[in-house]
Each structure stands twice: as structure tokens, then as C-alpha cells.
Structure 1
């Protein structure tokens, strides 16, 4: 998969999560998860873009590690919403599926980059 396609997917994913997050209940838990999901999902997109601009393979690999952590955090918050019964947004299942797919792609990319480094 090409970097530009992944950039686009991660950007669309961030937008989907933001839309989902702002629809959460306006209570203490909803507000907390809203902020965490917005932060982690936009971080996936922003840090993947930064990884693609890396000055070296090592910089790419390092930044990709951050992307993987943030994508996994998105999975956590989306699963948490589901488990709390707060996942009523129409795009919820699609967002969770995309979070898992993107995480798998980022992990595979990092493994490939590490192999190519040697």
C-alpha cells in the first residue's frame, strides 16, 4: 500500500473519530473520552505524515512506533466506548474496524522497515 493512500486513510480515520467523539454525552466520562479519542486519532494522522517526511529510515521507524501506539490507543478508547454502552454513533463499528486495520498496516510497515534496515 502506498504512503499517500495511508496518509489519506489515516486522515479520514481522524475525521471519523472526531465526529464520533463530539457526539459523546456531555458528562465527565464522555468529555474525558472525547478529548482522548480526538487527541489519539489526530495524532495517528499527524505522526504518520511526519514519519513519511523522516530524514532517515531510523527516523521513519521511530515515528512509526509513535503512530502504532496512538492507533492502539484509539482501539482502546473505541472498545471502552463499546463496553460502556456509549457507542451509539452510526460510524462506530467502521471506526473500530479501521483503527484495527490501520494498526496492522503500521505494524507491518515497521517490521518491513526494520528488515530493510539490516
Structure 2
């Protein structure tokens, strides 16, 4: 069940990130940081999706760890965009809350999977 939740939330988050990217590039004329954001923010869902066909539990765990690292990186770019006034506090808070929720889900999945492998 947790995997279904992370699939759904990571895809929804990717869509929000793409929309934030469109806003940042068209309205704010910000192209460098927003490109980093869209790359890491959409990689999360792609890695979660890729994990569906992992070759082993170890491969699954590896993909989830990489997704977790991408989520943490995305949080970093959100913070930078907020602290440089490209994202308003309300926009940042909303995206950040979703990002933190994904981090918590991925931490839980990686811990549970790792414990099963040990």
C-alpha cells in the first residue's frame, strides 16, 4: 500500500514541479535554478516507477535510495528559489510540504526494505 501512495504522490508532485518550472521560466524569467528543480523533481517519480520492475529487492532498495536523494535535492532547490525571491512563501510552503511528505515516505520504504534484507 505504501508503494501505491508513493507512486501517486511522486507523480502528482512531478506535475506540480513541471507547472512551477513553467511559471518560473515564463513569469519570473528564471532558467538556471528552475531547470535543476524540474530535473530532480521529476526524477523522483521516474525512479519510483522504475522500481516497479526492479530485478531484485536490492535493486528496488537502490532505486528508492536514489529517489530519496533526488527528493532531498529538490527540497534544496525549492529553498534556494524561495530565499532568492523567485517563489513566494505560500508557493514554497505548499511545494515544500509535499516534498517533505515524499521524503518521509521514502525514508520509511527504504528502512522497511533494508530491514527485510538484513
Q: TM-score, normalised by structure 2?
A: 0.90
Aligned to 2:93: 93
Alpha-carbon separation, structure 2, partners of 1:98 and 1:9:
8
Alpha-carbon separation, structure 1, partners of 2:42 and 2:102:
13
Report how far residue 114 of structure 1 moved.
Answer: 0.5
Please list, as runs of the form range in 1=range in 2, the aligned pairs for 1:1-118 lying within 5 A after superposition: 1-24=1-24, 25-26=28-29, 30-88=30-88, 91-118=91-118
Show CA shifts across 1:10-67 (max 9, x none).
Answer: 00001101111221121xxx20112111111110000011112212110011111110
In the TM superposition, structure 1's runs of 4+ consecutive aligned residues that sit over 2 Å from their partners are: 88-92
Worse-superposed segment, 80-89 or 55-64: 80-89
Report how far residue 90 of structure 1 moved.
Answer: 5.8
How large is the RMSD of aligned CA atoms in angstroms?
Answer: 1.5
Report how far residue 85 of structure 1 moved.
Answer: 1.3
Unaligned segments of structure 1, at least 5 residues: none
Unaligned segments of structure 2, at least 5 residues: none
